[in-house]
Amino acid sequence: MHSQSPPPVTFGETPFTRSKRRREKIAFAVFAGMVACIVIPLFLIVGYLVKEGAPLISWDFLTTNPVGGMRKGGIWSALLGTFWLVGTSLCISAPIGVLAAVYLNEYAKDNWFNRVINLAVVNLAGVPSIVHALFGLGAFVLFAHMGRSIIAASLTLAIMTMPVIIASTKESLAAVPRQFREACWNVGATRWQTIWHIVLPNSISGILTGVILQVSRTAGETAPIMFTGAVFYRKIEEGNFFAYGLADQCMALSMHLFTVTTQVTNAPHALPFAIATVLLGFVLMVNLTAILLRSWLRGRKKW
């Protein structure tokens, strides 16, 4: 009974290869469908926003203050406020976040204390922004007597983005192979020399990308600034980029969008769409910068 020899091995068409190809096609269709699930709504949303908002958008819209109880005029004070909030918060969170990540990844020993810190960073990144807002209100606005101001709001935003910057920077640093570090240590380089000459130059693209992507997140947040520095309406000098001071209250695009849609009656139908389009355009431009920077730096990758 056992003497029956197995069928000869062939490499042509068999039921097995046919079913294999069929499964391959199904898998491909499923994955392509998933991509469509993401891309189609995205295009629908953006297309709808732009279509509804485009008639209102003009150079004047961007560079004049809102007038007539927000119903007319432009969004200059909100646009500039967003620039200031994003810029200031990034100036605070980027250096601290990057240096903290360098410490955690390169210097900190693997003990329970540093594990707790790492855990805290990860968890802090997951705290809802409204909680950060309340912390900012308590710590900066009230306790530190900053009042509601750009600096208080920026600090709040910085606290919110810092854990994410730390996490993304740590990842970029960890992507530099350990053997490079060991080679440096073997020739008597200090940790700092190793970091400065080898680790940072080869992780800077990832670090910068991580930081820049936080810009878009900062620009879109409403909750943290609502209690700490953003106001319903403020008139500022048009065309002056330094119309805001750090201690001033400001308007912000995200907040403006919120108030126009919920608080202002009889606002033109296109206004919220136009504001959203500008906000999206801002975020898109920032992300585009990140992508270009990344591809440029990656072209200089050295291993």
Q: Which of 188, 241, 262, 299 binds another protein (CB under 8 A)?
A: 188
Based on CB atoms, which residue is closest to another protein, 189 or 246? 189
Residue by residue, DSSP assigns 110-175 as: SSHHHHHHHHHHHHHHTS-HHHHHHHHIIIIIIIT---SSHHHHHHHHHHHHHHHHHHHHHHHHHT
Residue by residue, DSSP assigns 24-86 as: HHHHHHHHHHHHHHHHHHHHHHHHHHHHHHGGG-SHHHHHS-EETTTTEE--HHHHHHHHHHH
Is residue 118 close enough to count as binding another protein by CB under 8 A? no
Give the C-alpha separation, 137 to 26, whole Å. 53
Quote the tokens at residue 253.
């695009």
Contact 78, 236 (CB under 8 A): no
Q: Which of 19, 193, 240, 295 binds another protein (CB under 8 A)?
A: 193
Closest distance of CB 188 from another protein, Å: 4
Fill in the per-residue mask, 129 to 168: x = in contact with another protein (CB under 8 A), - = not in contact: ----------------------------------------
Closest distance of CB 167 from another protein, Å: 21
Q: Which residues pair with 119 in a beta bridge?
A: none
Contact 148, 231 (CB under 8 A): yes
Indicate the SS3 state at residue 23: helix
Is residue 187 close enough to count as binding another protein by CB under 8 A? yes
Give the C-alpha separation, 153 to 213, whole Å. 19
Q: Which stretch binds another protein (CB under 8 A): 59-67, 89-97, 194-202, 223-231?
A: 194-202
Fill in the per-residue mask, 87 to 116: x = in contact with another protein (CB under 8 A), - = not in contact: ----------------------xx------
**Site residues (CB under 8 A) for another protein, limited to 41-70:** none
Give the C-alpha separation, 288 to 88, whole Å. 21
Q: Which of 1, 38, 68, 302 binds another protein (CB under 8 A)?
A: 302
Closest distance of CB 101 from another protein, Å: 19
Is residue 181 close enough to count as binding another protein by CB under 8 A? yes
Nearest to 257 by CA among 269, 274, 243: 274
Based on CB atoms, which residue is closest to another protein, 46 or 117? 117
Based on CB atoms, which residue is closest to another protein, 134 or 189? 189
Sign of CA dihedral 44, 47, 52, 57: positive
Closest distance of CB 294 from another protein, Å: 17
Binding site for another protein (CB under 8 A): 109-110, 179-190, 193, 197-198, 201-202, 302-303
